[in-house]
């Protein structure tokens, strides 16, 4: 029996997760890859919103920010344990997405892009200016998750960087599994249908507004958890995490890798997270090269890196 | 009781009355055709009936219930399905997935079950796939199931749209020029398909330019010209009506060329 695209993707991710550490020259790479996985989690959410449902958001770092600051502030002010703080952040992001999604998702194309951009800027402004709560531009410390001590109790000793490598990798794997399940499910078909033709989807009975909102809320939860993990991993968070640049980065990762595919979003995250590290060799030409690579990919691989390669190698996309 | 009753329906765009006070009815199991020259308001009429446009005046009743300006997805839930003159296919989905999407109302998706791929979600997908494959065989696209829909020929896309609309299990199917732009062979195939669908008891409201087809299969015909109904009746009656002949050929030669 042929491997389904869903299982192929999961297997590939699992293989990368398990085998990559074997070729790491130093423990620094654990951290780089943990960053890749954390970014890829938010990008997977964008694959659902942008790739499946075709709705752009230039403000998703706003939800990353909500997740990150929930991890920092909820233990301090609400007395929540760190893991519950992550869940609290995800629920808060879902609620915010639900409330703002209703009016915003009536917009289309670039008007939707600007409205979501506004949301992202709003969040980062609040985080920057409400210093009494958020610590302002200087940021705020994040209480540890306590995983390390927990594992030590079980007799498992891991370095912090290794611990975060595995934690973020496993969460990403779970997130990818959910997104892949969705892709070829009844809900996923409705989302991908409204992406191609809203009017046809409507006449087939799809409540387009409701399904867009569902995709928006789900993708906000992905972004929020990504933010919480980032905050916990760094032990510190600043308003930049919710900033405009981070939003753009996430969308670029999704589109560069191939927004319609989960594995595409993953490789987009690899490219944009790892390449700047890899290109440090070229010093001052680094950003020039990065920009050039991005342009070339989009010109010659309009569908994004992974779907274009699949089409060229196998004559189809999954 | 009529399945569809359209009463005094009208809509204007910037001062132009695109459809002006049109009334007619479709009985259960009938094929009713709407004909008229280009720009007569046929597609606009369809868009009002299927909820895409809100009429300025008049009403639409489906199975005795008021459905004027109801959202398209709610109309679909009440058994109204349609195709589009200018094709509204999902090009990035496969041929099979296009038809599967037509089963949305029967699937009643649950996001939670779909994310977790619970047995209920997988069962729905399996059932939907089986139904969709039957429909694809019926419209002669069984072999093309795995292709991306965007790669089909024009005639294939037209048939795919019909299969997708049928997947929604409609009581009333609106077909907007299903044979437009198709070659003779493709037109034949679509003719046969429409007759077969009607044979299953699905009522059909048809906009079509192919007079041969319209005359052959329609129970009755509604003729529009410049937004107004100018004639209605059995095919033989309509084809003899002087107003209809004038509208089609133009009362003065050359009038119609601009339309």
**Pairs of CB atoms within 8 A across A/B:** 119
How many other C-beta atoms are found inside a 10 Å radius of the C-beta of residue A245? Answer: 10
Any idea which of A222-231, A306-315, B142-151 has the lowest mean pLDDT?
Answer: A306-315
How many other C-beta atoms are found inside a 10 Å radius of the C-beta of residue A241? Answer: 23
Q: What is residue B258's predicted lDDT score, i.e. its pLDDT?
A: 42
Any idea which of A147-151, A208-212, B42-46, B230-234 has the lowest mean pLDDT?
Answer: A147-151
Taking an 8 Å cut-off on Cβ atoms, the answer to whether A204 and B101 are in contact is yes
Contact residues of A toward B, CB < 8 A: 178, 181-182, 184-190, 192-193, 195-197, 199-208, 214, 218, 260, 316-317
Are A52 and A241 in contact by the 8 Å Cβ rule? The answer is no
Q: What value of ipTM does the predicted structure carry?
A: 0.90
Q: What share of chain B is helix, strand, coil (3-state, %, to 5)?
A: 40, 25, 35
pLDDT reading at A136 higher than 60: yes
Using pLDDT thresholds of 50, 70 and 90, give the confidence band for residue A147. Answer: confident
Taking an 8 Å cut-off on Cβ atoms, the answer to whether A202 and B125 are in contact is no
Are B235 and B218 in contact by the 8 Å Cβ rule? The answer is yes
Please give, rounded to a whole number of angstroms, the shortest distance from the CA of B217 to a CA of chain A: 25
Q: What is residue A248's predicted lDDT score, i.e. its pLDDT?
A: 92
Q: What share of chain A is helix, strand, coil (3-state, %, to 5)?
A: 80, 0, 20
Average pLDDT over residues A258-284: 86
Look at the pTM and tell me if it is higher than 0.90: yes
In tens, the pLDDT along A227-248 reads: 999 999 999 999 999 999 999 9
Residues of chain B with pLDDT under 70: 250-259
A5 CB neighbours in chain B (<8 A) are none
Helices (runs of H) and strands (runs of E) counted in chain A? 15, 2
Using pLDDT thresholds of 50, 70 and 90, give the confidence band for residue A286. Answer: confident
Q: What is residue A299's predicted lDDT score, i.e. its pLDDT?
A: 87
Please give, rounded to a whole number of angstroms, the shortest distance from the CA of A180 to a CA of chain B: 8
Taking an 8 Å cut-off on Cβ atoms, the answer to whether A218 and B111 are in contact is yes
In tens, the pLDDT along A64-100 reads: 999 999 999 999 999 999 999 999 999 999 999 999 9
Are A81 and A75 in contact by the 8 Å Cβ rule? The answer is yes
CB of B120 within 8 Å of a chain A CB? The answer is no
User: Least CB-CB distance to B97: which of A189, A201, A317?
Assistant: A189
* Maximum separation of any 2 CA atoms in chain A, in Å: 60
Q: Which of B216, B195, B81, B187 lies closest to B138, judged by CA?
A: B195
Beta bridge partners of B148: B94
pLDDT reading at A316 higher than 70: no
In percent, the amount of chain A with pLDDT more than 90 equals 70
Q: What is residue A317's predicted lDDT score, i.e. its pLDDT?
A: 53
Cα–Cα distance measured from residue A28 to residue A198, given in angstroms and rounded to the nearest whole number: 47
Average pLDDT over residues A115-143: 93
Q: Which of B110, B109, B142, B143 lies closest to B128, judged by CA?
A: B109
């Amino acid at each position: 029996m042929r491997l389904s695209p869903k299982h192929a993707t999961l297997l590939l991710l699992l293989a990368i997760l398990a085998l990559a550490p074997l070729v790491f020259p130093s423990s620094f790479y654990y951290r780089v890859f943990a960053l890749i996985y954390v970014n890829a989690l938010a990008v997977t959410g964008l694959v659902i919103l942008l790739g499946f449902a075709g709705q752009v958001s230039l403000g998703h770092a706003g939800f990353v920010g909500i997740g990150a600051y929930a991890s920092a502030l909820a233990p301090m002010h609400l007395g929540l344990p760190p893991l519950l703080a992550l869940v609290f952040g995800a629920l808060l992001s879902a609620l915010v997405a639900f409330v703002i999604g209703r009016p915003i998702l009536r917009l289309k194309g670039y008007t939707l892009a600007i409205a979501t951009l506004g949301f992202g800027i709003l969040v980062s402004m609040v985080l920057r200016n409400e210093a009494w709560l958020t610590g302002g531009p200087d940021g705020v410390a994040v209480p540890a998750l306590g995983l390390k001590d927990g594992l030590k109790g079980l007799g498992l000793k891991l370095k912090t960087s290794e611990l975060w490598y595995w934690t973020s990798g496993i969460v990403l794997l779970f997130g990818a599994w959910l997104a892949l399940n969705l892709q070829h499910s009844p809900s996923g078909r409705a989302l991908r249908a409204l992406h191609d033709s809203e009017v046809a989807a409507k006449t087939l009975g799809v409540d387009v507004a409701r399904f867009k909102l569902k995709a928006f809320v789900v993708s906000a939860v992905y972004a929020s958890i990504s933010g919480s993990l980032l905050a916990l991993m760094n032990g510190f968070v600043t308003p930049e995490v919710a900033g405009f640049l981070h939003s753009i980065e996430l969308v670029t990762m999704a589109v560069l890798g191939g927004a319609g595919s989960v594995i595409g979003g993953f490789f987009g995250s690899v490219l944009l997270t790892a390449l700047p590290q890899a290109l440090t060799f070229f010093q001052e030409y680094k950003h020039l090269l990065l920009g050039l690579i991005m342009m070339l990919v989009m010109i010659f691989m309009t569908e994004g890196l992974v779907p274009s390669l699949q089409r060229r190698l196998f004559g189809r996309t999954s | 009781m009529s399945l569809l009753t359209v009463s005094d329906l009208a809509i204007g765009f910037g001062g132009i009355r695109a459809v002006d006070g049109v009334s007619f009815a479709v009985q259960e199991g009938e094929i009713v055709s709407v004909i008229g020259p280009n720009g007569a308001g046929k597609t606009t009429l369809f868009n009002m009936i299927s909820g895409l446009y809100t009429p300025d005046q008049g009403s639409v009743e489906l199975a005795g219930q008021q459905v004027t300006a109801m959202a398209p997805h709610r109309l679909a839930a009440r058994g109204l399905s349609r195709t589009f003159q200018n094709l509204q296919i999902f090009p990035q989905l496969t041929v099979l997935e296009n038809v599967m999407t037509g089963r949305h109302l029967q699937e009643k998706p649950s996001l939670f079950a779909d994310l977790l791929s619970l047995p209920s979600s997988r069962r729905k997908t399996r059932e939907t796939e089986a139904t969709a494959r039957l429909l694809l065989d019926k419209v002669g696209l069984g072999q093309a199931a795995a292709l991306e829909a965007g790669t089909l020929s024009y005639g294939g896309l037209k048939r795919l749209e019909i299969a997708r609309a049928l997947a929604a299990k409609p009581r009333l199917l609106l077909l907007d020029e299903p044979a437009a732009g198709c070659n003779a062979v493709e037109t034949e195939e679509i003719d046969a398909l429409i007759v077969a669908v009607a044979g299953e008891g699905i009522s059909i409201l048809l906009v079509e330019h192919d007079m041969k087809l319209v005359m052959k299969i329609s129970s009755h015909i509604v003729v529009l010209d410049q937004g107004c109904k100018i004639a209605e009746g059995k095919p033989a009656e309509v084809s003899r009506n002087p107003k209809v002949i004038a509208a089609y050929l133009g009362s003065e030669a050359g009038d119609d060329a601009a339309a």
